[in-house]
Amino acid sequence: MITVLFAAKPELWPDYAGPLAKSFAEAGLEVTMADAKTPPEQVDYIIYAPNGPVQDFTPYVRTRAVLSLWAGVERIVGNASLTQPLCRMVDPGLTEGMVEWVTGQVLRAHLGLDRQIQHQDGIWRNAEVPPLARERGVSVLGLGALGSACASALAALNFRVTGWSRTPKSIAGVTCLSGDAGLDQALAEAQILVTILPNTPETENLIDSAALARMPRGAVVLNPGRGTLIDDAALLAALDSGHIAQATLDVFRTEPLPAEHPFWAHPRVTVTPHVAADTRPPSAARVIAENIRRDQGGAALLHLVDRQKGY
């Protein structure tokens, strides 16, 4: 019998109980869920979220892996007590959600839908026709599972897609760049910029005043990645000057975004409340069950985090 601890917010358990039981059964796993009376040294796997009840992993001496419900692990990797293997969540449902948010926001910017919605005043304005997608340059920074899926979806819509990552990648229909020179080129071609990078020391404030200045005048910034990727003050200055035409932001340094933050009131900023990619219990449960099944069968864990890289 395998003992699994659910160490996320307790109010999430009703949403996960059924999907986990179903997924464990489909994977052929005999699982008992730990409760408050279960000694930590009897727990084989921990289903984890950083805002859950477990912060000290030292007592979990038998635990074979910590399986995160979150795609981002920046709030986990610095925990010195976490010596067990850590797997981040790479969930088809999470990926689909990110692709839908990104394609929706790119099309909104590309077609100029905001202008049409704002001017419902009986005046027929048809002087400005948007270019075709193949004439619009979209750059995606970050080509992990989420970024690659978004870049492929945008390329399928015929956008001229440039992707950038720290290490070289290859994606059909996407111009893939890497390194500092590649970043400069990706920014220069970004009429619409999508940032889907992890939060690491190397990516913090990557989109600063210098990076924004490299982008074409009138470009749009979309950030569903991490709030730390963008220098808030630099973005506000670029928006005020008109160099950046609009920004749609889903992630922030402080969440919920404080009511007094200037993003809320800025006429060129759209705030969405961290909804671009959320973990969905049915698909996440299948990912967790598959990882436990693999580990029990002697196969390598999927989506294992590199502690030094931070993702």
Task: Tell me what the pLDDT averaged over the chain comes to.
Answer: 96
Catalytic residue among 226, 268, 286, 303: 226
- Looking at residue 190, its pLDDT comes to 98
Contact 251, 224 (CB under 8 A): yes
Domain assignment present for residue 308? The answer is no
Summarised one tens digit per residue, pLDDT across range 81-100 is 999 999 999 999 999 999 99
80 lies in the same domain as 224: no
Q: What percent of the chain has pLDDT over 70?
A: 100
Q: Is 176 helix (H, G, I), strand (E, B) or coil?
A: strand
- Looking at residue 198, its pLDDT comes to 92
Catalytic residue among 266, 274, 293, 307: 274
- Looking at residue 226, its pLDDT comes to 96
48 lies in the same domain as 125: no
What does the alpha-carbon distance between residue 168 and residue 178 come to, in Å, rounded to a whole number?
5
190 lies in the same domain as 109: yes
- Looking at residue 286, its pLDDT comes to 97
44 lies in the same domain as 176: no
Average pLDDT of span 3-26: 98
Active site residue 226: yes
Count: domains in the chain: 2
196 lies in the same domain as 99: yes
Looking at residue 69, the DSSP 8-state letter turns out to be: S
Residue 311 has pLDDT above 90, yes or no: no
Q: What percent of the chain has pLDDT over 90?
A: 90
CB-side neighbour CA atoms (13 Å) of 17: 8
- Looking at residue 174, its pLDDT comes to 98
Instruction: Give me the residues paired with residue 221 across strands.
Output: 193, 247
Count other C-beta atoms under 10 Å from residue 230's C-beta: 26
Looking at residue 247, the DSSP 8-state letter turns out to be: E
Domain assignment present for residue 169? The answer is yes
Summarised one tens digit per residue, pLDDT across range 137-156 is 999 999 999 999 999 999 99
Band of the pLDDT at 309, cuts 50, 70, 90?
confident
Assign residue 151 the CATH number of its domain.
Answer: 3.40.50.720
Active site residue 134: no
Degrees, nearest 5: CA angle 164-245-257: 80
- Looking at residue 72, its pLDDT comes to 87
Domain assignment present for residue 303? The answer is no
- Sequence-distant (≥ 6) Cβ neighbours of residue 233 within 8 angstroms: none
Domain assignment present for residue 57? The answer is yes
139 lies in the same domain as 163: yes
52 lies in the same domain as 161: no
143 lies in the same domain as 86: no
Please report which residue ranges of the chain form alpha helices under DSSP H. Answer: 13-26, 92-111, 113-118, 145-156, 179-188, 209-214, 232-241, 262-265, 281-296
13 lies in the same domain as 51: yes
Summarised one tens digit per residue, pLDDT across range 200-213 is 999 999 999 999 99
Cβ burial, residue 4 (10 Å; 0-12/13-18/19+)? buried
Three-state SS for 252-279 is: CCCCCCCCCCHHHHCCCEEECCCCCCCC
Band of the pLDDT at 36, cuts 50, 70, 90?
confident
Summarised one tens digit per residue, pLDDT across range 227-269 is 999 999 999 999 999 999 999 999 999 999 999 999 999 999 9
Summarised one tens digit per residue, pLDDT across range 107-148 is 999 999 998 888 888 999 888 889 999 999 999 999 999 999
Q: What is the pTM of this model?
A: 0.89
For CA atoms 110, 248, 197, 293, the dihedral sign is negative
What does the alpha-carbon distance between residue 301 and residue 115 come to, in Å, rounded to a whole number?
48
